A and B are shown apart, each in its own frame.
Chain A
């Protein structure tokens, strides 16, 4: 029988301080009985013989010093089962969809152990998202974590949904299972996601965790861990390919800062805790492939950059952990271009392993490098045109200027339901490049130009 303590000495923010306990384990789960009969759950953050600090998940509202505190003798575990597919759960894992409780096949620690780097398999299977600016320029592979860096008012949710809808691996019929972890998003946004999942039938192969804007901030720290533990179970125990969409990481980091401040920790940059890098890494690094295991976890975290500032600690630290980023561009969005992917600022670090012969096509690398270079040159010229006018440009420069416009208008722009194959994306690329003088295509091997250039294979 677990003992109940009534020795709360202090309550501050989400933290409860309990005195004179038996030895309590670090990370141990806590249940607190409130005077009104309800219970709240928490976790031990700091334990010594004199004092135990408990972080309460659902917020400390209603707890008084007479409340009873029970230490449950185990660290936080979550029940997982195959039946979770198609279910909608709260941010702390309780069913929200009026369905039956989940009968666990296994109970797993939600703080996943790190994958042994030696056990990891190299992610190299190309995922076709059907979006040219991603497939062609920032190719995604299975096991990658590729965040969307967005800003308020940009259609990042649509991009994430389009990817979830269209993502496939060439030559395989199997669809991705989707684990969706929402942290502090509005119920309107949540509905938008849910509706799309239902419309496309994706809900059948999805597990949804919802922590909404009015749910306790501290619960947000739990939500992505639950989502990823579920994903690991689906991927590495059941052998499924899992896409994890986490939104919005900015809310998660705000919660992290809130707890840090309540614990009176020494803050690092902009008041965020010094361990934020490690904390984020413990989420993002749970993507990947494992040798001799069938499944995989591919992550799509979404975060909104406060003030569109990419140097803000949240996108900054994220960028150091994830394998690239897709940056949403306000400029393109204003021009009415969907998806507004800022190609020049986006990057997929694992692209090199997933493209080329045997993956996409032999000319993919060269073509994308050339598109990048030409687009960058065209964009530079726009600045010049603003000063000297288009007439002052040389013939060559004018072609690059037009290229940049055509690139945005035809390559980047596509319909939210348009699913382009990689072949289509690449032939569109050649078509656009053929507007430039052949001798300026310095990034492409002579042989490839002869083989693929539309101007009659010279």
Chain B
């Protein structure tokens, strides 16, 4: 560590403090005032440094001391990240509670990783091995998976010694011939992306178990998605469902400027949840970062970077990570707030002019990559945006849409009808569908894509017919078109609607999704035949199999039900003469 420099405060205006005499570099972390509040240098003018402080500055006065740590904001990376709950600058919230009580008071520091815990380290390299940055030197069991201890990216050399046993994260577990000691923990500046060998094409889907997402608008592992929505469209529930059910190894959930009570719901529900694949607690593969809306705005700005750095660290071990940033609008607002305190020239709607580049830099840190040591890992980012006034033309939404490949358009009209997830099937899109087609064909069913296309066409046709119905009423349509409307309704109500609170319905495996849609299509084909034989639509609709198809999704024996319903349909339709 460089020599720490001391200086003094000359001005305090809210979270922005001006100091002199610390001769820092940009983004160095400084400790402000007698309370040692953590802050970051964001501007240098002459010999003065403008510091953005992560905590409330009430009571701080000019003349108090400022200490420069000489280092940028860093995250501590190592065993112990999983099941942790941090604030935006990686202070563990449970530790803060223990130290300071129920309210977050100022100037409290606690290291991100616990120093006392002993971890069982098993080396994977031996004396004399040549090491490069990013290579695995050993393994530690952590939560539900194996934590691979990596050589820090810029370190290399020949192993002089390495040991097995119980260690804390600061203990030296090995040494290089250069004299460099290896520990299980490393630090990384959060605003700098961690290096990798190369980026790969994202051609494997992130399976979420949410029918509308997997079937119609899939996200690739290493892909980017945005969920916008005015408030109350079910954005939070959707992103929580994704955390619970997506098939990523690791979930990083960044609650950025969101509600305290909702964060509590996450904090209390995650530990109770089981990981559907391992049966172990879901927290064992999760890191939560919670910076609620009333916690300091500067820490909110940092929280997104802290989150993605943790995600990158696990990606470098060869894991698939999904990062939920809820919400990037709050993050952008934090930028705006700080920018306006700095009296910077504003861009659109008061946001700083660098909004677009900050957003794209962030999303660019995701992707499926070949890591430095060889295996592949990925980070998929799902960013929630909360457009003010539900207006999608506002700058955060627009700049985000220019970057992301998947758009899950949450819709308040659908919410009003209690259509959940309230994702609009006409305005949403996924640019990954063509890339993922082959995977679905190999792993689920040959005709997955054509089934998807059929569903989309039916829904599209419905919206065209709806316009006519608005004018003349549905009775004026020919029977065949009324059938299309009915089938589209079945797709919407039976397939697209999915209850996050129902124990069976909450997760739908790909195979089941496929069978379900297939059954609806079969009904549609049989019904079409029936109508061409002059059977009235009312009689077709009255068939038991139609109603059964709708109720099936809530039944415990849904998979057997789906197998049997085909036979029931054939029997009932043959009763109509088909």
A and B found bound together: yes
A: which residues have CB within 8 A of B?
23-28, 45-49, 75, 109, 111-123, 143-145, 236, 265-269, 273-275, 277-278, 281-282, 284-288, 290-291, 293, 310-313, 316-317, 319-325, 344-345, 347, 349-350, 352-353, 365, 369, 372-373, 376-377, 383-384, 387-388, 392-394, 439, 442-443, 445-446
Q: Which residues of B contact A316 (CB under 8 A)?
A: 231, 388-389
Contact A277 B501 (CB under 8 A): no
Cα distance A325–B39 in the bound complex, in angstroms: 36
Contact B58 A277 (CB under 8 A): no
With A25-B61, A285-B260, A311-B388 known as contacts, the answer to whether A115 contacts B267 (CB < 8 A) is no
* Minimum C-beta distance from B350 to chain A (A): 4
Q: Which residues of B contact A442 (CB under 8 A)?
A: 493, 550-551
Cα distance A274–B330 in the bound complex, in angstroms: 12
* Minimum C-beta distance from A119 to chain B (A): 4
Cα distance A344–B412 in the bound complex, in angstroms: 10
Residue of B nearest to A394 (CB): B475
Q: Which residues of B contact A312 (CB under 8 A)?
A: 389
Cα distance A13–B85 in the bound complex, in angstroms: 44
Q: Which of A117, A269, A278, A323 contacts B267 (CB 8 A)?
A: A117
Q: Which of A48, A145, A285, A377 contacts B12 (CB 8 A)?
A: A48
Contact B340 A117 (CB under 8 A): no
**Any A CB within 8 A of the CB of B443:** no
Contact B13 A143 (CB under 8 A): no
Q: Which residues of B contact A27 (CB under 8 A)?
A: 57-59
**Any A CB within 8 A of the CB of B438:** no
Q: Which residues of A contact B224 (CB under 8 A)?
A: none
Contact B12 A47 (CB under 8 A): yes
Q: Which residues of B contact A324 (CB under 8 A)?
A: 232
Contact B59 A268 (CB under 8 A): no
Q: Which residues of A contact B177 (CB under 8 A)?
A: none
With A278-B293, A278-B337 known as contacts, the answer to whether A115 contacts B263 (CB < 8 A) is no
Can you report 10 A-B residue pairs in the complex whose CB atoms are below 8 A from each other?
A116-B104, A265-B340, A269-B350, A277-B333, A278-B293, A290-B102, A325-B231, A325-B232, A377-B417, A384-B470
* Minimum C-beta distance from B7 to chain A (A): 14
Contact B333 A274 (CB under 8 A): yes
Cα distance A248–B236 in the bound complex, in angstroms: 28
**Any A CB within 8 A of the CB of B18:** yes
Contact B386 A320 (CB under 8 A): yes
With A46-B11, A113-B105, A116-B96 known as contacts, the answer to whether A445 contacts B554 (CB < 8 A) is yes
Q: Which residues of B contact A118 (CB under 8 A)?
A: 85, 93-94, 96-97, 267, 290
Residues 57-96 of B, flagged 1 when their CB comes within 8 A of A and 0 if not, give 1111111100000000000000000000100000001101
Contact B388 A120 (CB under 8 A): no
Give 15 new A-B contacts, CB below 8 A, not counting A26-B58, A274-B333, A353-B265: A27-B57, A47-B11, A75-B59, A113-B106, A116-B104, A118-B267, A120-B260, A122-B265, A285-B294, A291-B102, A293-B102, A313-B388, A324-B232, A349-B232, A392-B473
Residues 351-372 of B, flagged 1 when their CB comes within 8 A of A and 0 if not, give 0000000000000000000000
**Any A CB within 8 A of the CB of B390:** yes
Contact A268 B262 (CB under 8 A): no
Q: Which residues of A contact B350 (CB under 8 A)?
A: 266-269, 274
**Any A CB within 8 A of the CB of B14:** yes
Contact A349 B61 (CB under 8 A): no
Q: Which residues of B contact A281 (CB under 8 A)?
A: 257, 292-294
Q: Which residues of B contact A120 (CB under 8 A)?
A: 260-261, 263-264, 267
Q: Which of A111, A288, A393 contacts B473 (CB 8 A)?
A: A393
Q: Which residues of B contact A112 (CB under 8 A)?
A: 103
Contact B62 A269 (CB under 8 A): no
* Minimum C-beta distance from B222 to chain A (A): 30
Q: Which of A117, A290, A311, A344 contacts B290 (CB 8 A)?
A: A117
Smallest CB-CB A-B distances: 4 pairs = A311-B389, A281-B293, A27-B58, A48-B11
Contact B418 A369 (CB under 8 A): yes
**Any A CB within 8 A of the CB of B539:** no
Contact B264 A122 (CB under 8 A): yes
Cα distance A265–B13 in the bound complex, in angstroms: 12
Contact B63 A443 (CB under 8 A): no
Q: Which residues of B contact A267 (CB under 8 A)?
A: 350
Cα distance A317–B96 in the bound complex, in angstroms: 29
Q: Which residues of A contact B264 (CB under 8 A)?
A: 117, 120-123, 288
Contact B93 A24 (CB under 8 A): no
* Minimum C-beta distance from A258 to chain B (A): 17
Cα distance A274–B333 in the bound complex, in angstroms: 8
Q: Which of A25, A290, A344 contacts B416 (CB 8 A)?
A: A344
Q: Which of B103, B230, B293, B346 contacts A321 (CB 8 A)?
A: B293
Residue of A nearest to B388 (CB): A316
Residue of B nearest to A369 (CB): B418
Cα distance A323–B264 in the bound complex, in angstroms: 13
Contact B259 A373 (CB under 8 A): no
Q: Which residues of B contact A265 (CB under 8 A)?
A: 340
Cα distance A196–B61 in the bound complex, in angstroms: 46
* Minimum C-beta distance from A52 to chain B (A): 9
Residue of B nearest to A120 (CB): B264
Contact B11 A319 (CB under 8 A): no
Cα distance A319–B390 in the bound complex, in angstroms: 11
**Any A CB within 8 A of the CB of B564:** no
Residue of A nearest to B476 (CB): A392
**Any A CB within 8 A of the CB of B480:** no
Cα distance A345–B100 in the bound complex, in angstroms: 41
Q: Which of B96, B231, B290 contacts A319 (CB 8 A)?
A: B231
Residue of A nearest to B389 (CB): A311
Residue of A nearest to B94 (CB): A118
Contact B473 A388 (CB under 8 A): yes
